[in-house]
Amino acid sequence: MPVKKISILGATGSVGQSTAQVILAQPELFDIQAVTANSNAELLAQQAIKLKAKQAVVADSSAYQILKESLSGTGIEASCGRQALLEAASAPCDLVMAAIVGFAGLEPIMKAIGSGANVALANKEPLVAAGALVMEAAKKNGCHILPVDSEHNAIFQVFDEGQRRGIERLILTASGGPFRTWTTEQMATATLEQAVTHPNWSMGHKISVDSATLMNKALEVIEAHYLFNMDADKIDVVIHPQSIIHSMVAYEDGSILAQMGAPDMQTPIAYCLGWPDRIRTPGLKLDLKKLIKLDLEPVDTEKFPAIGLAYSCLEKGAAACVAFNAANEVAVEAFLERKTGFTDIVETVRKVFDTIEFVPLETLDDIVSFDGAVRTLAKSYMNNDQHRKKVYLA
Ligand SMILES: NC(=O)c1ccc[n+]([C@@H]2O[C@H](COP(=O)([O-])OP(=O)(O)OC[C@H]3O[C@@H](n4cnc5c(N)ncnc54)[C@H](OP(=O)(O)O)[C@@H]3O)[C@@H](O)[C@H]2O)c1
């Protein structure tokens, strides 16, 4: 594989750090341009030094001094602020790893696409909120969006574009999260610590909570719709507690192709970093000589209403998807700050979804301003709601 120029947005996060591990196992294959974070300047500086990056950027300007001091004498350029982040996202590159969490990653992703780089997309929220815009921009600029999310990466690996007409359905697998066997009443008492303890994956806090509500799978249904241009009624979700089959594609001749692997993000990350070649990873490997159980079961959509809401979003259109994501981000943040109960998260999303007026959205500015309006509404519901569950502390 020729040496690839790469930037990592969200380098200090769970995906960002796994990306660094894959790169550091074969540094001769990569030439790192920019690494970015929000405010974790110390870790970002360490990453930048290890990866021999050209520049490091913190979006939060108050973290700049620490970044600058930590990089002093290294020759690595330090900068800060939203504008510097957007510039780093558009620095000339072969591939940008988009691993910021949340809607905040949308504009950097659009900048990366605008620069003509391929994008390894972990950051699913921007695709949920602005899927059509992102995919159109990628097409216009001739860049590939390579899915990092393990489910979509699995589908990408077994989706034969040349046989598109013969593809009947996409089957997304879901572990079911830490509360798969809990009742709704038990879930109402879930603590933050219980919600972020995923049975199989080690991830950032936001996606861990999303996995517990199954909002993560709901976001992934929308993500799959945009990434693979598949109608909602051709996207299924099944529970697979072991997280070994990462997802499947069903063809009209009855064949179902699955991609399997250990639950370790290094595999889909390496697939995207190497694409179209394959490269090594130092991460976990599946040992098929050991007895492996593969269970599949239907998802309980009454217990996990987020899944049904995702299909309603795709029926209602772009604004519904923006609202769905924005309300969830607000509610998860409140839960992470112990300001609301676990089951209030999806209740808030549903309430916003039931009341908001779905306006037509065409431009990036339209989407950003609608996202802001939904956040204000979601916060007002959370602040005024007398019926919110008690917050359960560990
Ligand atoms: N973790 C996984 O295994 C996994 C799997 C599939 C998909 N994903 C998706 O990948 C994305 C990243 O997930 P993660 O678990 O790696 O998240 P994470 O551990 O929370 O890391 C998030 C990264 O984004 C940066 N960041 C946060 N807010 C930002 C802002 N406003 N501006 C610029 N940078 C910002 C953080 O910087 P600081 O460190 O300075 O805060 C950090 O580098 C999410 O969209 C998630 O859904 C994750």
Note the pLDDT tens digit of each residue in 358-371: 899 999 999 999 99
Please work out whether the CB of residue 329 comes within 6 Å of at least one atom of ligand 1. Answer: no
Residue 394 has pLDDT above 50, yes or no: no
In a shared domain, residues 103 and 37 = yes
In this structure, is residue 247 part of a structural domain? Answer: yes
CB 269 within 8 A of CB 178: no
Cα radius of gyration rounded to whole Å, the chain: 20
Mean pLDDT confidence for 243-267: 97
Q: How confident is the model at residue 390 (pLDDT cuts 50, 70, 90)?
A: low
Tens of pLDDT along 95-154? 999 999 999 999 999 999 999 999 999 999 999 999 999 999 999 999 999 999 999 999
Give the strand pairing for 30-37 and 55-58.
parallel
Model confidence band, residue 385 (pLDDT cutoffs 50, 70, 90)? low
Range of the domain at 98: 4-148
Same domain, 211 and 241: yes
Over 70: is that where the pLDDT of 93 sits? yes
The CATH number that applies at residue 134 is 3.40.50.720
The answer to whether residues 154 and 294 belong to one domain is yes
What is the mean predicted confidence (pLDDT) over 32-36?
98
Task: Note whether 143 and 178 are same-domain residues.
Answer: no
Query: 72 and 84 share a domain?
Result: yes
Q: Are the C-beta atoms of residues 338 and 192 closer than 8 Å to each other?
A: yes
- Hey, what amino acid is at 253? D
**Is the domain of 39 the same as that of 179?**
no
Say yes or no: 136 and 193 in one domain: no
The residue whose CA has the least distance to atom 20 of ligand 1 is 204
Ligand 1 center to 76 CA (angstroms): 23
pLDDT given at position 323: 97
Q: How far apart are CA 202 and CA 327, in angstroms?
A: 24
| Last residue within a domain, chosen from 91, 117, 148 | 148
Cα gap 170→173, rounded to integer Å:
10
Residue 16: predicted pLDDT: 98
Say if CB 109 and CB 134 are below 8 A apart: yes
pLDDT for the residue 201: 82
In a domain? residue 271: no
Q: Report the share of the chain in percent with pLDDT over 90.
A: 91
Separation of 13 CA from ligand 1 center, angstroms?
A: 5
pLDDT averaged over the chain?
A: 95
Give residue 168 CA to ligand 1 midpoint distance, Å.
Answer: 33
Nearest CA residue ID for atom 1, ligand 1:
203
Evaluate if residue 83 carries a pLDDT over 80: yes
DSSP, collapsed to helix, strand or coil, labels residue 8 as: strand
Residues 29 and 155 in one domain: no
DSSP string, 12-77: TSHHHHHHHHHHHTSGGGEEEEEEEESS-HHHHHHHHHHHT-SEEEESSGGGHHHHHHHHTTTT-E
Check which CATH number belongs to the domain holding 359 and give it: 1.10.1740.10
List, for residues 276-296, the tens digit of each pLDDT value: 999 999 989 999 888 778 999
Q: Residue 202 has what pLDDT? A: 86
For residue range 295-313, list pLDDT tens digits in order: 999 999 999 999 999 999 9
Does 134 lie in the same domain as 8? yes
> How many domains in the chain?
3
Same domain, 50 and 130: yes
The beta strand positions in the chain, using DSSP E, are 4-9, 30-37, 55-58, 77-80, 95-98, 118-121, 145-147, 167-174, 235-239, 245-251, 256-260, 297-298
For residue range 53-80, list pLDDT tens digits in order.
999 999 999 999 999 999 999 999 999 9
pLDDT band at residue 386 using 50, 70 and 90 as cut-offs? low
| pTM across the whole model | 0.97
Q: Measured in angstroms, how far is the CA atom of residue 43 from the centroid of ligand 1?
A: 14
Same domain, 220 and 359: no
